[in-house]
Structure 1
Amino acid sequence: MTVHTAQAECGNFQLAFYELGALYFKAPQGGYAGIDKDVIDELSKRSGCQFQTVLESRVRIWHQMSQQTLDVTVSGIATPEREKFARFIPYFTTRNFLLLSSSAPARAHSPEGFLSEPNLRVAVVKSFRHGALYDTWLAKLREQNRVEEAADFDSVVRLFMAKRVDAFLALPTSLEPLRRKELANSFIVLDWAPFDEVRHGLVLSRNRVPLPVMELMRREIRNMHEDGTLEKIYARYVGAEQAKYLLLKTTE
């Protein structure tokens, strides 16, 4: 397929990014950088699809997707509710870690132990999904009004720094930048769900992105996985070792 044919088959779509760790961040030299940006740039080059990009909060993105007023977004997690209005093309997999205050009691180092400490609170980004174990655990905490929900990950970190919460959840793509900051000694990292595989993908509006275009994008992302391009992009931001953990075990 030539680039001209791909362009004719594809089109021009509005795509929303959101800031989160190594996925999408403001670069020191200006502009934005990150895994999601590089994946989209490469996808556009290969498919001929053109993307008009905006920066939004994750809450607004999911609202717009559900209302069919946005074409595409990035690194989203499929749920039965979301699949009613969107199709998903996975391009990396990961899992969440709990970052717990170093001053929290040792008993809180397990999900059950944290639940048994009624004064402990956790912060999450509103509308995020975190995998089966964490979502079940968070549901129990919500019943006790022990969950603070913020609009974005930076706000979650600020809640933790202000000691308004005792823990928060982070992906490896967000964890590495945190370890380089001054607050690194204020938390310990707990891996409560080592067997979780939370697949993140391109999110395409069912009503606004034609099925043939979705298949075109899926094919190009699969090619990026098979020829090593995705692994190179991941390694650029999280290092070669962590990049291997982000690779999908199987592609669709």
Structure 2
Amino acid sequence: MSPRLTTVLFASWLTLAAAQAAQREADCPPAVVGVSDLGYSSYLDGGAIRGSNIDVLDEVQKRSGCKLEVRWLPRSRLYALFFNHELQMTGAALRTPERDRYGTWLPYTYTHFELVLLNQHAGKFRSLAEFVERSNARLNITRGISYAPQVQVQLDRLQQLGRLEYVNDYSVVFRKIQAGRADGTFAPPTIHMLMQRQFGMGDKLSALTVAESPRAMVGLYVSHKVPAAALQRYADALRTIVADGTMQKLYERYLGVDTARRLFHDGTRDILDALPPPR
């Protein structure tokens, strides 16, 4: 092959590669992802943002080829920015009708909210309703969390009884429990396990499952303003993360094998069925 032909072919390859890169960016422009204080899902470690949700976003970026910029925000502000189209994506979200108006929900894992109480208040409550009726313990929970309707009914009852207070984040919740100004909270293992470790309260608290809070799916919300091609890439990336077992391994890293297995005890078929089909 002559040097001239080699030069022409190399120039053509560069042109094609540049065109393909430009097309990828047009299909999947850089996106800003909002995350907040959610225990092992997303937390600040010095100046770094860490957690299972951050690891998932890293995998989505690698597998989709789409650039994601993660931004730390207060939970109460995150959805205000998402609804105002200032964020293209949110991490670790339960599905709600309000959020569906602004974005497409892509599930990738499970959560299970538990009633977490100081040991002296941790009776054998099978439901939140029993806790409301048979205890005087006070709960603190955070603003910006969406609860199942049957859970919210009981939380509203607690608030009317003066036994529930909303605060800004889970760090405040556990500081108040530690200081004796609250007796417990309502949170998933991803949150309360990290908080118990950080506050040295692992032997002082008990976590109870309650009837009103069955296992639920958690996902990313992708703004309706994001191109359809990018949405599909995100969905395809999440599908592979769930299907190849990466998601469960990430949870095992943060929560331990036993807790992760309880969350994924009957497989991931409902998550895979809820994602857009691959193309």
Specify which of 10, 13, 16 is matched with residue 31 of structure 2. 13
Q: Which residue of 1 aligns with 2:62?
A: 45
Task: Give the alignment of 1:134-149 within 5 angstroms.
Answer: 134-149=151-166
Answer yes or no: is the 8 Å Cα contact 1:88–1:203 preserved in 2: yes
SS of structure 2 residue aligned to 1:103: helix
Structure 1 residue 187 corresponds to structure 2 residue 205: yes
Specify which of 69, 92, 110 is matched with residue 93 of structure 1. 110
Q: Which residue of 2 aligns with 1:199?
A: 217
SS of structure 1 residue aligned to 2:194: helix
For normalisation by structure 1, the TM-score amounts to 0.87
With over 3 angstroms needed to count, the CA separation of the structure-2 counterparts of 1:118 and 1:14, relative to structure 1, is same
Specify which of 161, 169, 173 is matched with residue 156 of structure 1. 173
Q: How many residues align?
A: 249
Q: Which amino acid aligns with 2:35?
A: F
SS of structure 2 residue aligned to 1:221: helix
Deviation at 1:103, TM superposition (A): 2.6
**Sequence identity of aligned pairs in percent?**
26
Q: Which residue of 2 aligns with 1:56?
A: 73
Q: Which amino acid aligns with 2:36?
A: Y
Q: Which residue of 2 aligns with 1:82?
A: 99
* Partner Cα distance (2:59, 2:26) in 1: 18
SS of structure 1 residue aligned to 2:96: coil
Q: CA offsets, 1:82-104, max 9 Å, x none? A: 21112110111121111112232
Structure label with greater radius of gyration: 2
For normalisation by structure 2, the TM-score amounts to 0.79
* Partner Cα distance (1:106, 1:230) in 2: 33
Deviation at 1:120, TM superposition (A): 3.1
Deviation at 1:45, TM superposition (A): 0.9
With over 3 angstroms needed to count, the CA separation of the structure-2 counterparts of 1:106 and 1:202, relative to structure 1, is closer
Answer yes or no: is the 8 Å Cα contact 2:41–2:54 preserved in 1: yes
Specify which of 132, 135, 149 is matched with residue 115 of structure 1. 132
Q: Which amino acid aligns with 2:182?
A: V
With over 3 angstroms needed to count, the CA separation of the structure-2 counterparts of 1:14 and 1:106, relative to structure 1, is closer
Structure 1 residue 165 corresponds to structure 2 residue 188: no
Structure 1 residue 27 corresponds to structure 2 residue 48: no
Specify which of 226, 229, 232 is matched with residue 209 of structure 1. 226
Q: CA offsets, 1:20-79, max 9 Å, x none? A: 221122337x62321011111110111111112211011100111122222111001111
Specify which of 216, 230, 246 is matched with residue 229 of structure 1. 246
* Partner Cα distance (2:235, 2:107) in 1: 9
SS of structure 2 residue aligned to 1:230: helix
Deviation at 1:187, TM superposition (A): 2.0
Q: Which residue of 1 aligns with 2:11?
A: none
CA root-mean-square deviation: 2.6
